[in-house]
């Protein structure tokens, strides 16, 4: 029984589909290892400090409002009475400035490395506070103890003792965000007593060090915000609602500046909405009697976000590499098929299968080795082992050492191109498409003079191996 050329192609296609099974199993292993890394990050965040979000400062002024109302007695006579309600004003800084440096370092959990940082920063805010004597529905009575609140997502990250100066005077910081919970968590400080009907300028300056894991977010809650962050980390990712107005990124680190106006940011309105404030909450108008939701405030505020990205995330790189696994198998099988049909070599389907499995094992070697040695060295060792094995094996299968060396050279070129795709993430698509086009063009040029009908009529060497 002789196999037709079409039947050969069908057998090779089925073998390629069979190779997809170990490739998908290896990709599942990569995803599982990535999950273990996420567990390591969560473990570090639990015992160290998680991703940090900064908001504020916000000045909170509690007060009592006396509201007159009319009530009729049982004889129908109207009487004017006073009802008192406890309310609060929140004021935002007219000018907010944060200057900080982000110092990164690596913490380990088992074999996994987790990127953490220490933010060393100074946060300054200038307030013009105008307390009215009357509000729309009543008269301002007693003014409570005002305070300034800073929102910090994970206060465990505070290093040493932060220092606060109010109008250039050292002021004690207290635990928690303050009464009424302007933020879900944070710190606050008591301000000098304020009086209704008067305007007061307040300047606050907070010097602090804050630890966190991988990501830092800052809410631009002032009327005018200038935020400057610098670091020695060379691979930052700027996300969130606002990108830096200026940024310099190099191998030595980065320096980024955000300049954001309240005209462009909805942060104040979002804060007011989450705290049940009517229009103009920060300017002294009457809040509606709604209980503040500090967690909603934190989650809904527009923020700038900085992420310290690991430029060589071995699991991401290995996953991207594994997506090209079928392409490696396809190109190798196409080469085999051409040798088999043109040179009349006898290549058994099991030999196809063994070569495909060796190509698939490369990706498992890559992920296992890269957990213990740098990714580049893991890639060189894994690819070198597979190329050496296949070169040796194919030298016997193709009955020529030179042919084995030729296939090994082809594989070396493929692995080199693949590594170029992995390290050129921004250009991966264009490089990959150009590579595929070049390979297809080479195959078409090499086979342009082949009479495939004539090849199909020749005795099939595969049949001879099975009879």
CA distance 151 to 185: 6
Tell me what pLDDT residue 298 has. 47
113: nearest Cα among 249, 310, 271: 310
Tell me what pLDDT residue 5 has. 62
Q: Is the peptide bond before 259 cis (omega within 30 degrees of 0)?
A: no
91 neighbors 58 (Cβ within 8 angstroms)? yes
Minimum mean pLDDT range among 5-19, 51-65, 362-376: 5-19
Tell me what pLDDT residue 20 has. 81
Tell me what pLDDT residue 286 has. 36
- Compute how many other C-beta atoms are within 10 angstroms of the C-beta atom of residue 175: 10
Phi, psi for residue 391 in degrees, rounded to 5: -60, -45
Q: What average pLDDT does the segment 230-257 reach?
A: 91
**pLDDT band, very low/low/confident/very high, at 279 (cuts 50, 70, 90):** very low
CA distance 104 to 381: 30
- Average pLDDT of the chain is 80
Q: Dihedral of the CA atoms 273, 275, 279, 282 (nearest 10)? A: -120
Cα-Cα end-to-end distance for the chain: 8
Highest mean pLDDT among 73-77, 78-82, 213-217: 213-217
Using one digit for the tens of pLDDT, what is the confidence trace for 299-310?
Answer: 568 899 999 887
- Compute how many other C-beta atoms are within 10 angstroms of the C-beta atom of residue 61: 20
Tell me what pLDDT residue 124 has. 95
Phi, psi for residue 137 in degrees, rounded to 5: -115, 10
CB neighbour list of residue 160: distance below 8 Å, 6 or more residues apart: 209
**pLDDT band, very low/low/confident/very high, at 263 (cuts 50, 70, 90):** confident
CA distance 186 to 169: 21
pLDDT at 292 over 70: no
Highest mean pLDDT among 94-98, 211-215, 453-457: 94-98
Instruction: Report domain extents, the chain.
Output: 5-40+314-466, 51-308
Q: What average pLDDT does the segment 239-243 reach?
A: 89
pLDDT at 241 over 80: yes
CA distance 369 to 381: 8
Using one digit for the tens of pLDDT, what is the confidence trace for 321-360?
Answer: 777 777 777 777 777 777 776 666 777 788 888 888 888 8
Q: What average pLDDT does the segment 104-127 reach?
A: 86
Q: Cα–Cα–Cα angle for 253, 254, 260, nearest 5°?
A: 165
Tell me what pLDDT residue 113 has. 75
Alpha carbon distances (Å) from 40 to 213, 304, 314: 11, 26, 15
pLDDT at 296 over 50: no
Using one digit for the tens of pLDDT, what is the confidence trace for 361-411?
Answer: 888 898 888 888 888 898 899 989 988 888 888 888 777 788 788 888 888
CA distance 261 to 266: 10
Highest mean pLDDT among 123-127, 324-328, 419-423: 123-127
């Amino acid at each position: 029984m002789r196999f037709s050329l079409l039947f050969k192609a069908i057998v090779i296609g089925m073998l390629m589909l069979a190779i997809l099974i170990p490739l998908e199993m290896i990709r599942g292993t990569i995803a599982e290892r990535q999950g273990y890394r996420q567990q390591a990050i969560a473990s570090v965040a639990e015992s160290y400090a998680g991703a940090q979000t900064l908001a504020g400062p916000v000045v909170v002024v509690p007060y009592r409002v006396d509201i007159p109302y009319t009530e009729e007695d049982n004889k129908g006579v109207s009487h004017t009475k006073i009802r008192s309600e406890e309310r609060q004003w929140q004021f935002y800084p007219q000018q907010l400035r944060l200057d900080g440096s982000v110092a990164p370092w690596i913490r380990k959990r088992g074999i996994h490395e987790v990127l953490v940082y220490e933010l060393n920063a100074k946060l300054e805010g200038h307030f013009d506070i105008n307390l009215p004597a009357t509000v729309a529905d009543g008269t301002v009575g007693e003014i409570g103890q005002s305070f300034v609140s800073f929102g910090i997502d994970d206060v465990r990250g505070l290093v040493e003792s932060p220092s606060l100066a109010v109008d250039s005077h050292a002021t004690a910081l207290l635990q928690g965000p303050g009464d009424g919970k302007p933020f879900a968590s944070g710190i606050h400080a008591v301000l000098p007593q304020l009086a209704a009907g008067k305007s007061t300028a307040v300047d606050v300056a907070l010097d602090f060090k804050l630890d966190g894991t991988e990501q830092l977010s800052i809410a631009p809650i002032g009327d005018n915000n200038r935020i400057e962050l610098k670091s020695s980390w060379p691979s930052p990712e700027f996300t969130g609602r606002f990108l830096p107005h200026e940024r310099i990124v190099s191998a030595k680190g980065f320096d980024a500046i955000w300049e954001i106006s309240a005209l462009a940011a909805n942060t104040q309105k979002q804060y007011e909405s989450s705290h049940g404030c009517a229009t103009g909450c920060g300017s002294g108008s009457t809040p509606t009697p709604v209980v503040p939701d500090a967690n909603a405030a934190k989650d809904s505020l527009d923020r700038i976000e900085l992420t310290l990205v690991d430029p060589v995330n071995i699991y991401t790189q290995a996953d991207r590499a594994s997506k090209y696994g079928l392409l490696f198998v396809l190109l190798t099988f196409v080469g085999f098929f051409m040798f088999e049909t043109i040179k009349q070599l006898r290549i058994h389907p099991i030999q196809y299968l063994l070569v495909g499995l060796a190509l698939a094992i490369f990706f498992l070697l890559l992920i296992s080795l890269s957990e213990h040695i740098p990714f580049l060295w893991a890639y060189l060792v894994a690819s070198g082992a597979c190329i050496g094995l296949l070169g040796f094996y194919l030298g016997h299968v193709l009955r020529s050492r030179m042919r084995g060396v030729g296939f090994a050279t082809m594989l070396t070129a493929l692995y080199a191109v693949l590594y170029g795709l992995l390290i050129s993430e921004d250009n991966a698509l264009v490089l990959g498409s150009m590579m595929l086009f070049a390979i297809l063009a080479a195959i078409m040029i090499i086979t342009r003079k082949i009479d495939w009908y004539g090849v199909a009529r020749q005795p099939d060497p595969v049949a001879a191996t099975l009879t």
